[in-house]
Amino acid sequence: MIVKDRIESLRKELNEHNYNYYVLDNATISDYEFDIKLKELEKLEEENPEFFDPNSPTKRVGGEITKNFNTITHKNRMYSLDNSYSKEDLLDWEKRIQKNLGTTDIEYTCELKYDGASINLTYENGKFFSAVTRGDGFQGDEVTANIRTIKSIPLNLSDDFISNFEMRGEIILPLEGFHKMNEDRVANGEDPYRNPRNTASGSLKLQDSAEVAKRPLDCLLYQVVTNETKYKTHFESLNAARDCGFKVPKTITLAKSIDEVLEFVNHWDVERHNLPYETDGVVVKVNSLLQQEELGYTSKSPRWAIAYKFKAEQVTTILNEITYQVGRTGAITPVANLEPVHLAGTIVKRASLHNADQIEKLDVRIGDTVFVEKGGEIIPKIMGVDLSKRAEDSVETKYAEHCPVCNTPLVRTEGDAKHYCPNEFGCAPQITGKIQHYISRKAMDIDGLGSETVELLHKEGLIKNYADIYDLKVEQVVPLERMAEKSAKNMIEGISKSKEIPFEKVLFALGIRFVGETVAKKLAKHFTSIDNLSNASFEDLVAVDEIGDRIAQSVIDFLSDENNIEIIGRLKSYGVQLEVSQENLANQTNKLEGKVFVVSGVFHQMSRTELKKAIEDNGGKVSSSISKKTNFIVAGDNMGPSKLAKAETLGIPIVSEDDFIEMIK
């Protein structure tokens, strides 16, 4: 047998043994025999480098060093899920999707919600290509070398699956492996890890992939993302993925109704404690991929999926002190400082008290024994007070009257739950908070400049607002603590590159109260420049779709403030994009202005996403459901019969994909 054939034969055999052991839990060879074959392959590859393959089983042992993890934009956004906590929440969700789809003929899948670190795996031509963490959903860190060491992730696929696709899943640390790791750490005199979830997440960012390979990480897969239409349902695509080597848990179940969903929930609320890994709820999805596409997404989550969270664990502890935090908008958040207590795998020392009304409602006081749980098992919150343990000399909590940082008297406007510090340009947390928001990923996305560095730069007197960052020089930054020359150069380069960020993101980055990502996009598209927006009247602003009185007044207040006018003037002088580019303007028209479209069915010349963007680029609005306000329905193949009937009843014109393309020519 020639060398190349022997190498390929060993690779195939070792991949099969890995699959049998790590996915099927059915070893077909002893560890000793496996190691002998692996060493033979390593020797052959070393002697014959022309047959190098990044997906060889020999790469599973790691050894690649990653100093800096590249930030990669997701081809398909990784959305978060809406949460539900009761049958009523699920029934409300079901009503919404039935209304949007115009049918009650909907099948669901029920899957356990795995408690780990979300990952996006990309495969090209049947081979593992890259791995990126979820990050903020829009972009994450590339951790390909580390993920390649996880033996339950297939590196080469059989020919009968999809060629190019993404696989979504959760990197977990099984409980048995986690406990074994902690036993070893304690034996070596080291502190044990707190919980499997954080340990799994932290493992992905280790610089040495050989260290990652030593950890018993696993990967449970839950979604295939592709433009191909080979599979009709989510359930079918996952079964096919399992058959070709992916570790898709067999707990996934089909349900015909919410009652069947709840049967699944009730079963696993008890049985989850017998699983080899942690789970904190159930994910319910519409099974039909066509219906998923029809339902689409909100700005934050898919309409076709929802997470049902198991009841949170609750503990009692002592409230030692109430302190107050200042946010970037000046909003004051009261924080409960607690006697440390173990809760849902972590040590909890602090919990949010939200606002003055919540403190009054709970009548929570210093020294009280309080009930604490994690909201959605993530953020700790105080649920109540054990009044039977309250001291007789207990004193009612009086809410803070002055800013805890700058001592400015707090204000509270009518109808607002929060108190605010009005010292916007003189209160340190507000100054640094605004700059931290400006540089964040969803805003200006400045590489090399993080939150801690912002605080350090402010402390050293180098920056007082976000315009100041464009005046920074390498020689000013190098002397700072933990700042090498290369890091300083990367920061200055990142700041310079932010001048290319489009206007809609800059507008969001400015930090105007109530102007989030979606509102910023609408305002940028409508007014096209900061000058036009600054000159807009209250009436001009509220005339824009979905811009209400509160947002309009906030925009006017911000853009008429002398400090903000000066900062925006400086941003202009530095070359920051404060108007929509000519290229983007060229692709936009008002041909569909005032028209509301519903997109339904499968299309051939454009994807549904491209079609919706084309509607918006030409001034139209996309709606998810048919109503009297709908002007047109763009219908593709397999449009739902109930939607068709409703359109005919309301007399709404139905246009084809070709008709629509003609409309915008």
Q: Is residue 422 part of a domain?
A: no
Q: Which residues contact 209 (CB under 8 A, 6 or more apart)?
A: 62, 63, 64, 65, 66, 145, 146, 148, 149
Examine the pLDDT at 109 and tell me if it is beyond 70: yes
Given 252, 282, 309, which residue is the final one in a domain? 309
CB atoms within 10 A of CB 82: 15
Q: Is residue 73 part of a domain?
A: no
Instruction: Provide mean pLDDT across the span 386-403.
Output: 94
Q: Is residue 408 part of a domain?
A: no
Do 237 and 138 belong together in one domain?
yes
Share of the chain above pLDDT 90, in %: 58
CATH number where 359 lies = 2.40.50.140
Torsion over CA: 187, 188, 192, 198 (sign): negative
Provide the pLDDT confidence category of residue 567 given band limits of 50, 70 and 90.
very high
Instruction: Provide mean pLDDT across the span 14-41.
Output: 74
Cβ atoms 148, 204 nearer than 8 A: no
pLDDT at 191 (0 to 100)? 83
Cβ atoms 564, 591 nearer than 8 A: no
pLDDT at 147 (0 to 100)? 94
Do 23 and 128 belong together in one domain?
no
- Residue 309: DSSP 8-state: E
Instruction: Provide mean pLDDT across the span 180-201.
Output: 88
Closest of 273, 247, 200, 179 to residue 25, by C-alpha: 247
Given 309, 330, 362, which residue is the final one in a domain? 309
pLDDT at 358 (0 to 100)? 93
Do 340 and 380 belong together in one domain?
yes
Share of the chain above pLDDT 70, in %: 96
Q: Is residue 156 part of a domain?
A: yes
pLDDT at 509 (0 to 100)? 97
Q: Is residue 531 part of a domain?
A: yes
CATH number where 456 lies = 1.10.150.20
Do 267 and 280 belong together in one domain?
yes
Examine the pLDDT at 116 and tell me if it is beyond 70: yes
Question: Longest C-alpha distance within the chain, in Å?
Answer: 88
The residue that leads in pLDDT, 338 or 194, is 338
Provide the pLDDT confidence category of residue 385 given band limits of 50, 70 and 90.
very high
Q: How far apart are CA 473 and CA 146, in angstroms?
A: 35
* 3 state SS of 145: helix
Instruction: Provide mean pLDDT across the span 317-340.
Output: 94
Do 540 and 654 belong together in one domain?
no
* 3 state SS of 208: strand
pLDDT at 376 (0 to 100)? 54
Instruction: Provide mean pLDDT across the span 290-313.
Output: 88
Do 263 and 370 belong together in one domain?
no
Examine the pLDDT at 538 and tell me if it is beyond 60: yes
pLDDT at 601 (0 to 100)? 82
pLDDT at 25 (0 to 100)? 63
Do 131 and 10 belong together in one domain?
no
Report the range of poorest mean pLDDT among 7-16, 316-325, 435-444, 613-622.
7-16
Measured in residues, the chain has a length of 665
Do 493 and 516 belong together in one domain?
no
Closest of 329, 393, 364, 304 to residue 624, by C-alpha: 304
Do 87 and 207 belong together in one domain?
yes
Instruction: Provide mean pLDDT across the span 64-87.
Output: 85
Strands (DSSP E) found in 517-627: 596-600, 621-623
Instruction: Provide mean pLDDT across the span 118-136.
Output: 93
Report the range of poorest mean pLDDT among 24-28, 70-74, 644-648.
24-28
User: What's the mean per-residue pLDDT of the chain?
Assistant: 89
pLDDT, tens digit, for every residue of 279-298?
Answer: 989 999 999 998 998 888 88
CATH number where 42 lies = 1.10.287.610
Identify the H or E element spanning 439: helix 428-439
Q: Which residues contact 524 (CB under 8 A, 6 or more apart)?
A: 502, 503, 504, 507, 580
Helix extents (H) in 442-561: 451-459, 474-477, 485-497, 503-509, 517-527, 530-534, 538-542, 549-560
Active site residue 300: no
Q: Is residue 406 part of a domain?
A: no
pLDDT at 642 (0 to 100)? 72
Do 487 and 540 belong together in one domain?
no
Provide the pLDDT confidence category of residue 473 given band limits of 50, 70 and 90.
very high
Range of 14's domain? Answer: 3-61
pLDDT at 134 (0 to 100)? 92
Cβ atoms 135, 72 nearer than 8 A: no
CB atoms within 10 A of CB 31: 9
pLDDT at 584 (0 to 100)? 72
Examine the pLDDT at 378 and tell me if it is beyond 90: no
Provide the pLDDT confidence category of residue 23 given band limits of 50, 70 and 90.
low
Q: Is residue 68 part of a domain?
A: no
Q: Is residue 76 part of a domain?
A: no
* 3 state SS of 94: helix
Provide the pLDDT confidence category of residue 534 given band limits of 50, 70 and 90.
very high
Q: Which residues pair with 253 in a beta bridge?
A: 110
* 3 state SS of 249: coil
Instruction: Provide mean pLDDT across the span 82-92.
Output: 91
pLDDT at 368 (0 to 100)? 95
Q: Which residues contact 285 (CB under 8 A, 6 or more apart)?
A: 108, 109, 111, 234, 292, 304, 305
Catalytic residue among 59, 113, 374, 434: 113
Q: Which residues contact 324 (CB under 8 A, 6 or more apart)?
A: 332, 333, 334, 335, 400, 404
Report the range of poorest mean pLDDT among 137-141, 249-253, 464-468.
137-141
Do 377 and 469 belong together in one domain?
no
Given 342, 369, 389, which residue is the final one in a domain? 389
CATH number where 186 lies = 3.30.470.30
pLDDT at 1 (0 to 100)? 58
Instruction: Provide mean pLDDT across the span 333-355.
Output: 89
pLDDT at 73 (0 to 100)? 87
Do 284 and 135 belong together in one domain?
yes
Identify the H or E element spanning 235: helix 234-243
Instruction: Provide mean pLDDT across the span 595-609.
Output: 86
Q: Which two tokens stand for residue 122?
A: 């990309």
Query: What total number of domains does the chain contain?
Result: 6
Closest of 101, 104, 100 to residue 640, by C-alpha: 101
Provide the pLDDT confidence category of residue 362 given band limits of 50, 70 and 90.
very high
- Residue at token pair 């099969």: 16
Instruction: Provide mean pLDDT across the span 502-508.
Output: 95
